[in-house]
Amino acid sequence: MVAEAIHAEQVRKTYRTRGQKPVEALSGVSLTVERGQRVSLLGRNGAGKTTFLRIASTLLMPTSGAIRVFDRDVVSDPEGVRPLIAVVPQEGKPFFHLTPREQIYTYLRSRGFVRETAKSRTEEALGLMGLEEVADRLNVTLSGGQKQRAMVATVIATQAPLLFLDEPTIGLDPFARRGVWESLRRLTRLGSTILLTTHYLDEADVLSHHLYVIDRGQVVGKGTSEELKRSTGGTLRVSFPGPFADRPGLKAELEGFGRLMDDGVALHVITGPEKVEELLQIALRRKVPATVGPVTLEEAFLRLVGRSIDEEENGHG
């Protein structure tokens, strides 16, 4: 078999709704997902992530371009692709009139697993997602996070060769999120490939072998988490929290120490270890707090897709 689980070339998608202006959701996305990897798509709301996942998982036709999944064309051979994939859709809900145990079991049976395998996989997935206590309650009675866990459990139980997970950890508590991470790691150890989206950059950081940042339907950044972080131009972040209006001249004084980022919560200087001491001296002299930490994926993301309010008002937002 080929080494690539997904190979996409110049994928475009324009949504056309009668009486509405067409929306170009993807403007030529090319990407590859190597077999056995966990790959994340990052991007602002409306960037095109779900559109890409839906096309790659045979649920939506591209306007043009080509996508192959395990070397099968998703457009001309969707029936060949479907048995190889499983999907957690964005905002998917489990069947209300089933229990989590019934839902997972029924889904596995519908995918052709024999009773015994379906049964053991069901119990395993319930355990992995911490659903034992609610396994026999109707899905309709579950909390929001429990419903989401039931969705993820259903799909991970398939151990399909390629899993698509669109914001799998949305609404999950920090323990349940870690449960999902562990399950996804386990799946790739067993040989599956995973393409997911998330808005939690700490999650993307710990989970992804490779990341693609999508903005306005185009790939604007790609690489490992470390590569993306390095693209900020520094390795450390010195942050001056608080309102800057009260601190005349602070911004000007920090210019020259590295890239400045003002996220409204703190003024961050992306810099290297050699500048830290001097920056902390500035904080001491001004009697303002400052913290030092490593550059995170968040700085890389903000740099890649950040735009000013002016730009958004000019109609690109």
Ligand X SMILES: Nc1ncnc2c1ncn2[C@@H]1O[C@H](COP(=O)(O)OP(=O)(O)OP(=O)(O)O)[C@@H](O)[C@H]1O
Query: In this chain, which stretch among 42-50, 110-118, 211-219, 228-236 interacts with Mg ion, using CB under 5 A?
Result: 42-50
Instruction: Find all residues with CB under 8 Å of 245, minimum gap 6, and list them.
Output: none
Query: In this chain, which stretch among 84-92, 145-153, 198-206, 231-239 interacts with Mg ion, using CB under 5 A?
Result: 84-92
Q: Which does 94 bind (CB under 5 to 8 A by kind): ligand X, Mg ion, none?
A: none
Question: Which tokens sit at 93?
Answer: 């809900």
Query: From CA 58, how far away is CA 166, in angstroms rounded?
Result: 14
Query: From CA 104, how far away is CA 128, in angstroms rounded?
Result: 13
57 binding Mg ion? (CB under 5 A) = no
What are the φ and ψ backbone dihedral angles of 15, each rounded to 5 degrees? -85, 130
Nearer to Mg ion, 46 or 130 (CB): 46
Q: Which does 234 bind (CB under 5 to 8 A by kind): ligand X, Mg ion, none?
A: none
Q: Is 33 helix (H, G, I), strand (E, B) or coil?
A: strand
Phi-psi region of 298 (alpha: psi -120 to 50; beta: other; left: phi over 0): alpha
Cβ of residue 55: shortest distance to Mg ion, in angstroms?
A: 13
Nearer to ligand X, 54 or 177 (CB): 54
Query: From CA 157, how far away is CA 177, in angstroms rounded?
Result: 17
Of 146-175, binders to Mg ion (CB under 5 A) are: none
14 binding Mg ion? (CB under 5 A) = no
90 binding Mg ion? (CB under 5 A) = yes
Query: From CA 163, how far away is CA 219, in angstroms rounded?
Result: 21
Nearer to ligand X, 217 or 234 (CB): 217
Q: Which does 308 bind (CB under 5 to 8 A by kind): Mg ion, ligand X, none?
A: none
Which residues of this chain interact with ligand X, rule CB under 6 A?
15, 17, 23, 25, 43, 45-51, 90
Cβ of residue 212: shortest distance to ligand X, in angstroms?
A: 12
Q: Which helix (H) or strand (E) holds 187?
A: helix 174-189
44 binding Mg ion? (CB under 5 A) = no
Query: From CA 26, how far away is CA 221, in angstroms rounded?
Result: 15
Q: Which residues bind Mg ion (CB under 5 A)?
A: 49-50, 90
